[in-house]
Amino acid sequence: MKLLIIVIYDSSRLQDLLTALIELDVRNAISVDSEGLTHVLAQEVPIFAGLRSLVSTPKSPCKAVLGITDDAAIISKLDRTLKAIGIELTQPETGYAMILPIEGLLECSE
């Protein structure tokens, strides 16, 4: 089993991403609101207030999607599917995807 992690910086494309995941049979995925570390530090931690100059405009929250798959080739399949709908994770400021091996999994069957 593999853990699929996807971060997409344009949260308006989340529905497209989730639709692509369903087509690729990635089930039990979750979506999490997230923010870049630089933005959080600049806004929330006074000692890093100098970073505000690096954060030109407040960005909308990005989305992190986590899912489980048995498909070791899921990244290349996801890349092709997303490119077909106009999302290219290889472009700057778009997002990224990765898979990590899972050594153990306790899962509730529905």
29 located within any domain: yes
The DSSP code sequence of 37-104 is HHHHHHHH-GGGGGGGGT--SPPPPEEEEEEEES-TTHHHHHHHHHHHTT--TTSTTTEEEEEEE-S-
pLDDT at res. 56: 52
Q: Domain for residue 51, yes or no?
A: no
Find the CATH number of the domain harbouring 25: 3.30.70.120
The answer to whether residue 76 sits within a structural domain is: yes
Q: Is the dihedral of CA 99, 104, 107, 109 positive or negative?
A: positive
Residue 40: pLDDT band with limits 50, 70, 90: low
Q: Please state the pTM of the whole predicted model.
A: 0.76
110 domain residue, yes or no: no
Range of the structural domain that residue 12 is part of: 2-35+61-101
Identify the pLDDT of residue 45: 65
Task: Name 109's Cβ contacts closer than 8 Å, sequence gap at least 6.
Answer: none
Determine, yes or no, domain membership for 91: yes
Q: Considering the domain boundaries, does residue 16 fall inside one?
A: yes
pLDDT per residue as tens digits for the range 53-110: 555 544 667 899 999 888 999 999 999 999 999 999 888 888 899 999 988 877 766 5
In a domain, 23, yes or no: yes
- Give how many domains the chain has, as a whole number: 1
24 in a structural domain: yes
* 24 vs 39 pLDDT, higher one: 24
Q: What is the pLDDT of residue 73?
A: 93
